[in-house]
Amino acid sequence: MRFHHASVATLIVLAALLSMRSSTEAQGQAHAVILITLDGARTEELFGGLDTDVFRSTLGEKQVLEEQPAYKRFWADTAEARRAKLMPFFWRTLMRDHGSIAGNRGAGSSVTLTNTHRFSYPGYSEILLGEAHDDTIKSNDPIRNPYASVLEELRSRLSLTSAQVGVFASWDVFSAIVEHTQGALTVNAGYTPFDSPLPAVRALSAMQVETPTPWNSVRHDVYTFRFAMDHLSRARPRVMYLALGETDDWAHDGRYDRVLETYARTDEYLRELWTWLQADPEYRGRTHILITTDHGRGRTTKDWRNHGAKIEGAQDVWIAMISPAMQKRGEWRTHPPLQTSQIAATLAGWMGVDWKMLRPAAGAAIRGD
Ligand SMILES: [Zn+2]
């Protein structure tokens, strides 16, 4: 009799577990979540494409705007046509059929930072913690994050291995930003070797140091993307973060043509990633993607290269979400303002974790229905 009772109890527990599992699946909670950031990507280019005033301001006296290859490639008459030339897959497929984007101030949509520093480490930390810590997180130095990130919490709450939470970043300081506990996640940031059984990927790992950028701490995004795709297909992570950097660095250098080309290359990366996810039965329809930036930049020809506490416009950012749990498509219009501090709770919520329970001061998850 005791055995009988025990097995009935076991069955009841099993049934309860199974129904919990199916109800979380039914609510659209995901198999996987992917965070993507484009460093310092202004709302001006994202929503309006090529900015003629800025482009012209970067040219020498004898250079003609209309003759520049990047102008010929990316110019069009309307903001909608220009941005689609810059990021055709993002606008004509992702945002039209699968997701939505907030942050176009011209459409009555506002997304801002809550940190007041308006540069990278505080921006990424706000994204990953759901709260600004202006007093303690106030430099871009590679100082280990004093707080556990949403990536680390997802790993422990979902009982994932470190290989199942992968971070691939062009900027080396990400090793310090994304983890409070060193080694909790799989992190490959800056000019770091990446190992793979594939000879072609190992060749890329060797090549990254032979194709230096003008910046000591940032490698080319192509390596970051290739290593991330290799990790995705072999380790099959549940949580992945792809942090691209060139949109910011070329802007600091005043190379507007390269800024534009970077957006277009990034769009190709998004297309490849999306195509891969759609071809995989485990990820297709069960993967949530959030794309955003760590800060904006100045709005004028005088300050578009820069960002920081005193630069007007650097507080304006944007958030794109492609999620089976969200019905909204295209651009958000006239809604209560959103903030970067809401991203951590949004990512965690998609994976069934209540971030506000863990961090009561964090911003609330974004609802897209
Ligand atoms: Zn910057």
Instruction: Write the pLDDT tens digit of every residue in 279-338.
Output: 999 999 999 999 999 999 999 999 999 999 999 999 999 999 999 999 999 999 999 999
Q: Measure 252 CA to ligand 1 centroid, in angstroms.
A: 7
Q: Measure 140 CA to ligand 1 centroid, in angstroms.
A: 10
Cα-based distances in Å from 83 to 90, 288, 362, 365: 9, 23, 32, 28
Helix (H, G, I), strand (E, B) or coil at 343: helix
Q: What is the pLDDT of residue 368?
A: 77
Q: Measure 269 CA to ligand 1 centroid, in angstroms.
A: 21
Q: Measure 79 CA to ligand 1 centroid, in angstroms.
A: 25
Which of 141, 184, 174, 158 lies closest to 32 in space, CA to CA? 158
Q: Measure 50 CA to ligand 1 centroid, in angstroms.
A: 19
CB within 8 A of 225, min separation 6: which ones? 168, 242, 244, 269
199-251 residue pLDDT tens: 999 999 999 999 999 999 999 999 999 999 999 999 999 999 999 999 999 99
Confidence check: pLDDT of 4 > 60: no
Residues with CB under 5 A from ligand 1 (ion): 40, 248
Contact between residue 241 and residue 215 where contact means Cβ atoms under 8 Å apart: no
How confident is the model over 170-179, as a mean pLDDT?
Answer: 98
- Report the mean per-residue pLDDT for the chain: 93
Confidence check: pLDDT of 9 > 60: no
Residue 48 in tokens:
């309006």
Which of 359, 357, 365 lies closest to 326 in space, CA to CA? 365
Q: What is the pLDDT of residue 110?
A: 98
